[in-house]
Structures are given as C-alpha cells and as structure tokens.
Amino acid sequence: MQSLTPKRLTELQVKANDVRQGIIEALAAAGSGHSAGSLDMADVFTALYGHIMRHDPQKPEWADRDRLLLSCGHIAPVRYSAMAHFGYFPVEELLTLRKFGSRLQGHPERVKLPALETTSGPLGEGLAQGVGMALAAKLDKKDWRVYVVTSDAEHQCGLHWEAMMTAGKFHLDNLTCIIDRNFIQIDGSTEDIMPLEPLGDKYRAFNWEVIECDGNDIASIVEAAKKAAATVGKPQVIVARTVPGKGVSYMEGDYTWHGKPPNKQQAGEALHELQAARERILANA
C-alpha cells in the first residue's frame, strides 16, 4: 500500500464529500432508503476504493482484485456512490436508486453491477461469505485480500459469530472485517437494545487482531488498513468509530435517520452544507 501524501489525502477528502453528495441526491430521488449509516461510511468506502484496495474499474472482474463485501446491505447508497465516483458506472445513474428496473436496488444484487461480489440483505451473512472467499484464496495460493464491511448491530446475528470462529481457526490473515461502530440501529442505541461492549475483547477471544480507528478520518482508516495488511496468522477487525449521518448536521448522532431519506427541502440543506465543507477542504489544502 502506497504512502498517503498530503495531496492525496486532500483529494480523498474531496472525493468523500462527493460521495456524500451522491448519497443525498440518490436518497432524495428515491424517496426511501437509509441515510445515517450511508453517510457515516463515506470516508471508509472512499479510502477503500481510492487508496487501500487493489482493483480496476476498467477490469471489474480482474481475477487478482481485492474483494469488498457489504454485509449490511441497507447502506447500499454509500457503496453505489463510491463505485460511481471511482469509475464503475456513470454518476448520473445514482438517481435511479430503488427505481423499478434499476441496477441500484435497495440492497445490492451481485448480478446487477460489476465487482459487486455478493447479494446482501439479510444481516449477519457477509462475514461468512468473506471467510469462504478468503479460504479459497489461501487454497489457491492467491494474494488478494477480502474486506467485509459490517454494521455493529448485525453482531446480534449468530451466523456472524460462527464466521468469526471459522476465520480464527483457519488463521485467515487475508481477511479484514470493518465494523461501522456508530452505536445505532433502527430502534435506538445498540447498547440499549443489545449491548456489544467490550466488542474488541470479544474478537480477541476468537483469535482476531483488533485495530481501532476514527472511521470519519481517512488518514486514520488508511493507517488501520496498513496494520491489518501487515498482520500475520490472524484475521483482523477494524473497529471504525463513526458519527451517524456524518457531514449533515441535522442528521449527526440521530438514530431516527437510520432508515429514512431526506425530503426535497432537507436534501437541499444537506447539499448546501456539504458543498460548503468541500470548499473549506480545498481552501485549507
């Protein structure tokens, strides 16, 4: 993985802002969808597509690409927006989100877009799928890596813990799980509904390397990914602490935005705020 220069960091910060604007535009056009988690993971997806992963949008089925799985499929808008802004399909297509016949359904469908890897929707399945891919890479002596993005609340699903055990058993050091640790789910705080802490210690008990980072700081995300890639003999989990609705002040920290989109007026306010933030990034570069 290349060093993250100040110039490249600025470029990625601008790109993450573009990804957030794409999310807002898509959700407003759809009139439905999940806002909070999509926005708070924009920095992670920008870092993955823009710096961390080995991939090529011109050769989306390249056999040696790194695999990226989105287990919490309801935050599909962030993946779609990131893919569009990194060249997998036209940005204008984001406005077809959740429309009949669109490739951009409410949850990702593997056969609809290149390099989407998996169909996701039922929570808790993604890590198990990633374990299978990582084990296949080991058996085939391939050096590509598997990244699985999960929500924190889907840790309430038993299948996820079975996958954690399996990954530890087979020492899958080519597997990195990234947790969107935003502390919310549709009914409130994860710690009120089904407490997860001490989350890192639970992964350590399953023989995982635990790395924590600020999930809304691209430099912190890249540093965490470097540590993960350097780990030998263990799968890794990056606990990415995020602010729900990051980038849109009236959404930040409010769990009620977990599963609803902005209306036209709210979208306008969000885009105005994001554009101002974009200009500040460029002015401070």
- Specify if 99 maps to a domain: yes
- Specify if 251 maps to a domain: yes
pLDDT of residue 207: 98
Chain CA centroid to CA 81, Å: 11
Which domain does 201 fall in, by range? 6-284
pLDDT in tens, 241-260: 999 999 999 999 999 999 99
Burial class (CB in 10 A: 0-12, 13-18, 19+), 52: buried
- Specify if 41 maps to a domain: yes
pLDDT of residue 122: 87
- Specify if 1 maps to a domain: no
Q: What is the DSSP letter of 67?
A: E
pTM: 0.97
pLDDT in tens, 41-95: 999 999 999 999 999 999 999 999 999 999 999 999 999 999 999 999 999 999 9
Q: How many domains does the chain have?
A: 1
- Specify if 37 maps to a domain: yes
pLDDT of residue 101: 94
- Specify if 66 maps to a domain: yes
Phi–psi pair at 230, nearest 5 degrees? -85, -5
Q: What's the Rg (C-alpha) of the chain?
A: 18
Say whether the peptide bond before residue 195 is cis (omega within 30 degrees of 0). no
- pLDDT over 90 at 2, yes or no: no
Q: pLDDT band at 285, cuts 50/70/90?
A: confident
- Specify if 158 maps to a domain: yes
Mean pLDDT, to the nearest integer, of 26-40?
98
What residues form DSSP beta bridges with 188?
Answer: 185
CB 131 within 8 A of CB 71: no
The DSSP element (H or E) to which 112 belongs, if any, is none
pLDDT in tens, 146-191: 999 999 999 999 999 999 999 999 999 999 999 999 999 999 999 9
Mean pLDDT of all residues belonging to the chain:
97
CB atoms within 10 A of CB 230: 11
pLDDT of residue 167: 98
**CB hemisphere CA count around 220 (13 angstroms):** 14
Polymer length in residues for the chain: 285
**Domain CATH code at residue 152:** 3.40.50.970
CB atoms within 10 A of CB 103: 17
- pLDDT over 90 at 114, yes or no: no
Chain CA centroid to CA 28, Å: 20
224: CB partners within 8 A, 6+ apart? 211, 212, 213, 238, 240
Q: Collapse the DSSP code of 235 into the 3-class scheme (helix H, G, I; strand E, B; otherwise coil) and give the result.
A: coil
Mean pLDDT, to the nearest integer, of 108-116?
92
How far apart are alpha carbons 143 and 175 in whole angstroms? Answer: 11
- Specify if 47 maps to a domain: yes
